[in-house]
Amino acid sequence: MPKRANVKRFDSPDVQGEDSFVILRRFTWGEAKALRRDAQAANTDDDKFGVMAYAIITHLTGWNWVRDDDSPMPLPVTESDLDAMNDAEITFLSNCINDLIGVPQAEAKN
C-alpha cells in the first residue's frame, strides 16, 4: 500500500558525530513558495535569520543531537532556542531546509 514520504532524514556525522541525524517534515509546494518569497523579501540579515529559524522550528521533527555534556538536546520550539547552537549546526540545518525546498547550494550562499 502506498505511504506518503512526508519526512526526510539527514545524517549529520560531520556536525554531531557518528550515527547522528535530523528528521525534517517535507514542505508542501505552497510552503516552499512562501518560504522562498519571504527569504527574498527579507531586507536585513536579522530578517533572513528569522525566516530560516521559522522554517527550522516548524519542520524539524526529530533528531538525536546532544549538548557538549552529551545530554540530549531538546528540539527547538522558539527562535531563541537556536541561540545555543553553534555555526556548523545552524549551517547544517539551513542546508537541509534549502535541500527540501530545492534551493541550489550556490544560490543559498547568496
- Reported as a single tens digit per residue, the pLDDT across 33-68 is 999 999 999 999 899 999 999 999 999 999 999 999
> Residue 110 above 60 pLDDT?
no
Contact 89, 65 (CB under 8 A): yes
Q: What CA–CA distances, in Å, run from 34 to 2, 37, 74?
A: 28, 5, 27
- Mean pLDDT, the chain, whole residue set: 92
Q: How many whole angstroms separate alpha carbon 41 and alpha carbon 61?
A: 27
pLDDT of residue 103: 80
Helix axes 29-41, 45-59, angle to 10 degrees: 160
> Residue 105 above 70 pLDDT?
no
Q: How many whole angstroms separate alpha carbon 13 and alpha carbon 23?
A: 14
Q: What CA–CA distances, in Å, run from 57 to 2, 3, 53, 61?
A: 28, 25, 6, 9
Q: What is the mean pLDDT of residues 82-95?
A: 95
pLDDT of residue 108: 54
Q: What is the mean pLDDT of residues 63-83?
A: 95
